[in-house]
Structure 1
Amino acid sequence: MYIIPAVDILDQKVVRLREGKYEDVTVYDTSLEEMIAKYQGNGTELIHIIDLNGAKGDFSNQSYLFDIIHKTDMKVQYGGGVRSIEKVKELIDAGVHRVIVGTQAITNPTFLEELSHLYCNGVKCSDHIVIAIDVLDEVIKYSGWMESSPIKLINYIDRCLKLGFFRFLCTDINKDGKLGGAGVELYKKLLDHSPIIKLIASGGISSMDDVRELDSLRIESCVIGKAIYEQRISIEDIKEWNLRQLITF
């Protein structure tokens, strides 16, 4: 299992939200450029960037983010307000390695089907897509976790798989931002149902013990943010873990 360090950006500042609430924000005294420089090293080549302005339809951060992406060798997994086929292509053309789609995939019945037929840089765009599933008590939430989808969680995964999408970023909302441990039971349920999915775990990871527990579940990777800023997991811990995984792969 691979650790993907996470950086959330709001007004070009590094921040973390608690349970997705913009009014409950912590601003960190560092920049995106500084964070990328710290993470980059043997074994760690992927970073998870969420544009919180973009999530609200405000793409004022985009030129700033694109400039940074062009300057780094790190691969970027990007999310935040991706609600059109054109935006997916724009991001991939700009050098984004993986694009996270969430709300539009749930609310627009044709979005994923159209995306499944699209080619980006000569390969199917589905190879560069991560389906975000934000879950609260097994209910899929969207639009900044304000709305609930009537689609059953397992049924949604099955539909995505049929369309050729296989990588899922699953956030357990009950766990997010609380450093109380990962949503292990939720991930077990998803993997028991569909062992072939590439699952990215997110939310609640507070220690390397949590990482080891997730590793035992056949999870492809996990996203860690707040635990790093709160110094519960060090950047060296992440580099050492990822390098060991690379060597033993």
Structure 2
Amino acid sequence: MYIIPAIDILNKKVVRLREGDYNQVTKYEVTLEEMIERYQSNGTDFIHIIDLNGAKGDFSNQEYLADVIRKTAMKVQYGGGVRSIEKVKELIGAGIHRVIVGTQAITNPTFLNELSTSFISKKNLTDHVVIAIDVLDEVIKYSGWMESSPVKLMDYVDRCLHLGFFRFLCTDINKDGKLGGAGIELYEKLLDHSPFIKLIASGGVSSMKDVEKLSEISVESCVVGKAIYENHISVEEIKDWNLKAMASL
């Protein structure tokens, strides 16, 4: 398992939300460019960037983000405002390594089917598309976590798997931004249901002990954000962990 540092952007600023609430924003006095340079210089080759404006339908950040991302050699896992298959293809074509799809996959019944058939190779589908599952008390949330889906969590996972999507980014909203520990119970349920999925855990990671617990249940990777900004996990610790994870492959 490896660690992916997270950078959330709201109005072109580096921020973190608490439980996905846009009214509970912590702003950090650092730029996106500075954070990317900090991670890259410490040997981390993957980074997770979320456009929080885009997640709620405001695309004012996208030109700025595209310009910054074009200039980095790091692999970027990107989400927020991906509303069409054309946008998925555009982002991948522009060098984004993984594109996260969430709201459109839930609200548009044909989106995942069309996205699946648009990829010739199922390996490319798994490597470059991540299905976001944002969960609050086992209810799937979307549109910046402001809306609830009636679709049951495990039914949604099964549908995605049937279409060839195997990599999931699961955020436990109850845990997100609180530094209170990762949602181990939720991730265990998902892995018990489908042991072969490639699961990226997100939300609540507060220390390297949380990272160790996630590794023990065999998630593929975990996203860490606020714990870095609040100095609970250092960039050096991430580097050391990821180097050991690479060496064990």
Q: Smaller-chain TM-score range?
A: over 0.9
The alignment covers a number of residue pairs equal to: 249
Note the alpha carbon deviations across 1:67-106, whole angstroms, 9 max, x for none: 2222111000000011111111121111111010111111
2:42–2:236: 8 Å Cα contact kept in structure 1? no
Q: 1:112 to 1:128 in 2, by over 3 A?
A: same
Report the equivalent of 2:84.
84
Report the equivalent of 1:232.
232
Give unmatched runs, 5+ long, in structure 2.
Answer: none
**C-alpha separation in 2, matches of 1:18 and 1:210:** 18
Q: 1:243 to 1:43 in 2, by over 3 A?
A: farther
Q: Per-residue deviation at 1:127?
A: 3.2
Q: Per-residue deviation at 1:56?
A: 2.1
**C-alpha separation in 2, matches of 1:120 and 1:97:** 17
Q: Map 1:1-249; keep pairs closer than 5 Å.
A: 1-41=1-41, 44-119=44-119, 124-249=124-249
Q: Counterpart amino acid of 1:238?
A: I
**C-alpha separation in 2, matches of 1:182 and 1:123:** 29
Runs of 4+ in structure 1 off by over 6 angstroms are 120-123
Q: TM-score, normalised by structure 1?
A: 0.96
Q: Secondary structure at the match of 1:89?
A: helix
CA RMSD, Structure 1 to Structure 2 (Å): 1.7
Q: Secondary structure at the match of 1:182?
A: coil
**C-alpha separation in 2, matches of 1:110 and 1:23:** 33
Q: Counterpart amino acid of 2:92?
A: I
Q: 1:39 to 1:187 in 2, by over 3 A?
A: same
**C-alpha separation in 1, matches of 2:42 and 2:166:** 27
Q: 1:104 to 1:87 in 2, by over 3 A?
A: same
2:52–2:144: 8 Å Cα contact kept in structure 1? no
Note the alpha carbon deviations across 1:113-135, whole angstroms, 9 max, x for none: 00001138997445311000011
**C-alpha separation in 1, matches of 2:141 and 2:225:** 21
Q: Secondary structure at the match of 2:150?
A: coil
**C-alpha separation in 2, matches of 1:179 and 1:42:** 23
**C-alpha separation in 1, matches of 2:150 and 2:121:** 35
**C-alpha separation in 2, matches of 1:102 and 1:131:** 6
1:42–1:243: 8 Å Cα contact kept in structure 2? no
Q: 1:147 to 1:122 in 2, by over 3 A?
A: closer
Q: TM-score, normalised by structure 2?
A: 0.96
Give unmatched runs, 5+ long, in structure 1.
Answer: none
